[in-house]
Structure 1
């Protein structure tokens, strides 16, 4: 890892004439919010900025409402730049085909908060103790001397409120950041509702069908308990992928299970697996053994094949 401070990264960005900012595949509010906040600040300093993420999934509708979304270009349109920044990506694989654009750029930067990230850039600002990447981007903006405008603060708030589960598992420092962001002009009630409590009506039928698949194994994880549920491709038809992601927050409320796993089928036979734990189980080694990564209490990975086989492989890894 080429560990770097926020001040060192700010120095690289300070006079960069053009910057390409890359979010991870299946972008969430932290990766997009971080990218747009950084992008708007750099554009305000006169830099040419483009933000992108690898397909094939489209950006969820709620995230398209964030300020600065006009900076986003299709992945095929993103080009190498004097500086390229990957935000909230635990591995270079998480930025998919845009890894080629990243590698071809002059200086590469990674800003991330995943404890599983071992670094893959020329400069790596990685802090597994941070609640979200947005907090680290704020540190860089402060080092740049950038103004915390309402639009920039809103993008940072999007990452903070979602990655802390509306502050349910936030560290004390995150409440201080939230106060600063709302003081800068964030409409916290509006964005909390849009990002956390807004689904299409069809989501209710999908959740009903998915919860019918839920199974509990109280003997799994050394007696800590495991709850699993499956979201197949048919159930996800016509919905943003983030609507499927939200199911894990429902299943994880089962008090008999420390670990929750939700298997989401992106295309037939291809699964994205979200893992959550409450207090007893470290998910990082489990996710790593299956080709993924993440945090102690929230991790994920991808797999292929019949769902029964995919679930069995998880059980063997526990």
Structure 2
């Protein structure tokens, strides 16, 4: 890992002819908010910027409301002198087809907060003690001397409020950052509603179905307990792919289980799996064993097969 400081990253960006910022596949508010916040900041300095993410899934409608979304585009290979920045991606594979765009740049930068990230850039600004990547982007912007506009603050707030579960598991430093962002002009009430408390009516039926068929195994995890549910592709047929992302936050509330899992079928036989722990079980080795990664208490991975097969592979490790 080529450990780098916010100052070193800022120096590389300041000297760039242009910058391409790449979010991870199936983008969430932290990866997009970080990209747009950084992109708007660099643009304010007169640096040419383009942002993008790979994959067939469109940007969730809630994130289309973020300032600077016009920076998101289909990405071509980098030009000479262009710096490529990966934001909130724990591995280069999380960049999907744009991994090649990242690798082809003259200078590559990784900004991330996942403890499982081994580092894959020329400059790796990785801090697992940060609650979100957006906070690290703010440090880079400060080093660049970028003024914190309401638009930039809003993008960064999107990452902060979602990755801390509306501050339920935020570290003290995150509250200080939140206060700064709110003072810069963020409408906290509006964005908490848009990002966390807004779903189509069909979401209620989907959640009811998943919860009704969920399984609790109190013997799993050495008696600490496992609760899990499955969201099949049919249940998501009338909704955007991202509507299944919040189900884990409901399933994890079962007090009898230390670990919670939600299996989400994107297309038939293709699954993404969200894992959550209350703290006694480190999820990173489990997710890594299945090809993924993340944090001690929040990790994930992808798998293929029938619902029974993907569930069985996880349960064999617990």
- What band does the TM-score fall into relative to the shorter chain? over 0.9
Partner of 2:287 in structure 1?
287
8 Å CA contact 1:274–1:300 kept in 2: the answer is yes
Partner of 1:218 in structure 2?
218
> What's the CA shift for 1:26?
0.4
**1:316, 1:264 → 2: CA distance?**
19
**1:188, 1:78 → 2: CA distance?**
35
**1:38, 1:303 → 2: CA distance?**
32
Partner of 1:80 in structure 2?
78
Alignment RMSD, CA only? 0.7
> What's the CA shift for 1:17?
1.9
8 Å CA contact 2:206–2:236 kept in 1: the answer is yes
Partner of 1:207 in structure 2?
207
**2:221, 2:262 → 1: CA distance?**
16
> What's the CA shift for 1:31?
0.1
Partner of 1:14 in structure 2?
14
1:153 aligns with 2:153: yes
8 Å CA contact 1:283–1:297 kept in 2: the answer is yes
Q: Which runs of 5+ in 2 are unaligned?
A: none
**2:25, 2:3 → 1: CA distance?**
24
> What's the CA shift for 1:35?
0.1
1:263-289 Cα shifts (integer Å, max 9, x gaps): 000000000000001121100000000
> What's the CA shift for 1:85?
0.2
> What's the CA shift for 1:79?
2.9
> What's the CA shift for 1:209?
1.1
> What's the CA shift for 1:48?
1.3
**1:127, 1:317 → 2: CA distance?**
28
In the comparison of the two structures, how many residue pairs are matched?
316
Partner of 2:306 in structure 1?
306
Partner of 2:114 in structure 1?
114
> What's the CA shift for 1:247?
0.5
8 Å CA contact 1:113–1:130 kept in 2: the answer is yes
Q: Which runs of 5+ in 1 are unaligned?
A: none
Partner of 2:64 in structure 1?
64
8 Å CA contact 1:109–1:122 kept in 2: the answer is yes
> What's the CA shift for 1:210?
1.1
**1:113, 1:160 → 2: CA distance?**
12
Aligned to 1:84, what secondary structure does the other structure show?
strand
Partner of 1:123 in structure 2?
123
8 Å CA contact 2:227–2:251 kept in 1: the answer is yes
**1:254, 1:103 → 2: CA distance?**
42
8 Å CA contact 2:135–2:160 kept in 1: the answer is yes
Partner of 2:263 in structure 1?
263
**2:251, 2:239 → 1: CA distance?**
19
**2:106, 2:64 → 1: CA distance?**
29
Tell me the TM-score normalised to structure 2 length. 0.98
